[in-house]
Chains A and B, each alone.
Chain A
Amino acid sequence: MRWLAEVHVRLQPGIADPEGQTIAGGLRALGFEGVADVRAGKLLRLTFEATDRQAAEAAVAQMCSRLLANPVMETADWELSADETVAVGIQS
């Protein structure tokens, strides 16, 4: 069956994130003075085939550790769901 994983790749805490700092500065310039911090990251939306949830979880974990995140400076976490858009004919 088909699965959908939304993988969030984040810089590890403590590593300087100039992109996030620049975005935070932009928000404060717009008047959102309460913005204390912004951390930028990546969202990767994967659609893939796996026999069951356990296999799908294992596949995402492998994809993250082998390619999608570099453990030297990043972490990855994800939300996994059965992709029902195909079954019900919804175009995402």
Chain B
Amino acid sequence: MTRAPRVAVIVFPGTWSDRDFADVAGLIGWDARLVWHADADLGDADAVVLPGGFAHGDHLRTGAIARFSPVMRAVEAFAAAGGAVLGSCNGFQILTEAGILPGVLLRNDHLEFRCDWQPLRVEHAVGAWLGGLTAGEVIRLPISHGEGRYYADEATLDQLEATGRVVLRYAEEDGRVTPDANPNGSLRSIAGIVNERGNVLGLMPHPERAAEAEVGGTDGLRILRALDGWLVAQPAAAERRL
């Protein structure tokens, strides 16, 4: 790809991480555009980011109202066509409510809002966003949520595991997955999953908050920067968008 990736950053009423993504976009050379939730069109975007926050106040359930915003029809079509989609925190919750990713995010088991740096074990370095990582390594990203307890029924969990779609797990610094390292009671310590084709990633942590050494770490950049390589390797996407 010879030009900057065009990334649509979706903004709902109550989204709060959109400006952080736009700021990081400047660091890594993305052509980021903020897209209001009432817009029905993503334009010529190469990728879509659903940032964290409290879309529509998270009333009823996290993401429950947001999934019916006009822009989500375009996001669903974009994801179904194989476009790169990243949903972080509230964005992950919206992706599950929309049925783009399976499962749901429930209230943290200890009922507290948890804001901290969190080690994560990379289980599978696959798809649009994880190509810059290595399976088995431990990365550190901030978490910041009150509703991050991943839940799906046993059959769904088994299928996710069997198909290599559980990509990030909460872990100790040394990579061991333990109950103590699980910050919210997520089943099987799941922190992030991808869809069947790997083009959609949902994760509770915030890669955009780990983009500068001055704020504590840069592992988030390794996730966001992977998009460039993935877009180059996607002939279908290249034909469609370039």
A residues with CB within 8 A of B: 15-16, 18-19, 22, 42, 67-68, 70, 72-73
Dominant SS among interface residues on chain B: loop
In the complex, what residue of chain A is closest to B108 when comparing beta carbons? A18
Q: How far is the CB of B117 from chain A (nearest CB, A)?
A: 23
Question: Which residues of B, 47-64, contact A by the 8 Å Cβ criterion?
Answer: 60-61, 64
Q: How far is the CB of B150 from chain A (nearest CB, A)?
A: 11
Flag if B106 contacts A15 (CB, 8 Å).
Answer: yes
The interface bits of chain B over 60-98 (1 if a CB of A lies within 8 angstroms of the residue's CB, else 0) are 110011001000000000000000000000000000110
The contact size tier of chain B is 20 to 34
Interface centre among B60, B108, B185 (most CB of A within 10 A): B60
**Interchain CA distance A72-B67 in the complex, whole Å:** 15
Question: Which residues of B, 4-43, contact A by the 8 Å Cβ criterion?
Answer: none
**Interchain CA distance A73-B214 in the complex, whole Å:** 40
Q: How far is the CB of A18 from chain B (nearest CB, A)?
A: 5
| Cβ–Cβ < 8 Å partners of A68 in chain B | 60
Interface centre among B61, B96, B102, B109 (most CB of A within 10 A): B61
**Interchain CA distance A72-B61 in the complex, whole Å:** 12
In the complex, what residue of chain A is closest to B99 when comparing beta carbons? A72
